Amino acid sequence: MIKIGVRGSKLALAYADIVVNRIKTNFKPIVDIQIVPIKTDGDIYAKKNIAEIGGKGVFVTKIEQELLAGNIDLAVHSFKDLPKDLDDRTEIGAVMPRHDPRDAMLGKIFSGCKIGTSSPRRKLQLQKLYPDCEILPIRGNIDTRIEKLRQGDYDAIFLAVAGLETLGLEHEITDYMPLHTLVPAVGQGVIAVQSLKDQNTVLLEQINHLETYQCAMAERYMLQEIDGDCDTAVGSITSLIGDVISLEAYNYENNTSVKLQMKSKEYRKLGELAGREIKWTKMIIFMKI
């Protein structure tokens, strides 16, 4: 029996089902699997601003604790919710194939409209895209946010395409935002599987999607290099063609960006170098002041 811990939200459970199906398809012998819903701080305090309840790891920490306690064997997370640092006794053992990483617009944009987003990254980008609109915070799961839009609390909201399509809500989308118009979050569209180190390694190797892993981990190493987190206003676009991986990183907190390429096996070096580039520029600006 393999126990998989995950948030109890509709979307998180759907992500867990994706992992379960990949295990059943790619791993032999077939094993019994139990999904274990776990309430995180982000779920318990759903009406509070994420920064108020700790920011880093609000959707991850409690699940990680269950993994360390041996109550579950694997933990499933949305990659973009991962804090910069996980417990050293654990690792991201596998990822699922990347879903569409773009953001989507729901509702309509017009002069003076109210736009809802809970993401610092989206907020800074949207302020530049729509300078005459009001950017307001919004919390809650996807269904809750859509309901707030329908009730008129907001004229438009922005959500990840991956979540909407996973829940069959693509009909709610007004427009798909081009990658370079609204640059996605680190790891957006990726499902991560966390495990204790050196446990379930054969299973994880079988289900891991290597191309997605190299791209997502390059983005993660970039974020770690700038000492950023899931709530840092940083975006990235990563692609792999043949054995060459390309990473574009955008730091909206200091208006810097970088685009680099390396061999795919050097994904960690690529991410760390990209992080140093956008972090170093920030240091130069500070020194000039």
Can you identify the CATH homologous superfamily of domain 210-289? Porphobilinogen deaminase, C-terminal domain (3.30.160.40)
pLDDT at 283: 42
Which residue among 73, 81, 103, 231 is the active-site one? 81
Where along the chain do the CATH 3.40.190.10 domains lie? Answer: 1-96+190-208, 103-176
Instruction: Please state at what angle helix 10-26 crosses helix 142-150, rounded to 10 degrees.
Output: 140
* Per-residue pLDDT, 42: 54
Which tens digit of pLDDT belongs to each residue from 238-261? Answer: 999 999 999 999 999 999 999 999
**Whole-number average pLDDT of the chain:** 91
DSSP per residue over 111-161, as a string?
Answer: TT-EEE---HHHHHHHHHH-TTSEEE---S-HHHHHHHHHTTS-SEEEEEH
CATH T-level fold of 103-176 = D-Maltodextrin-Binding Protein; domain 2 (3.40.190)
Confidence class of residue 285 from pLDDT cuts 50, 70 and 90? very low
Grade residue 31 by pLDDT with cuts at 50, 70 and 90: confident
101 cis-preceded (ω within 30 degrees of 0) = no
Residue 3 contacts residue 72 (beta carbons within 8 Å): yes
Start-end of CATH 3.30.160.40 domains in the chain: 210-289
Whether residue 60 has pLDDT greater than 80: yes
Q: What is the pTM of this model?
A: 0.90
Look up residue 205 and give its two tokens.
């190797």
Q: Active site includes 87?
A: no
Average pLDDT, stretch 19-28? 94
> Which of 40-44, 45-49, 156-160 shows the lowest per-residue confidence on average (mean pLDDT)?
45-49
Helix (H/G/I), strand (E/B), else coil: 225: helix
Distances (CA, A) of 133 to 121, 130, 164, 198, 282: 16, 6, 24, 50, 28
Q: What is the pLDDT of residue 142?
A: 95
Q: What is the CATH number of domain 1-96+190-208?
A: 3.40.190.10
- pLDDT class of 159 with cuts at 50, 70, 90: very high
> Is the confidence at residue 215, as pLDDT, over 70?
yes
- Per-residue model confidence (pLDDT) at position 30: 82
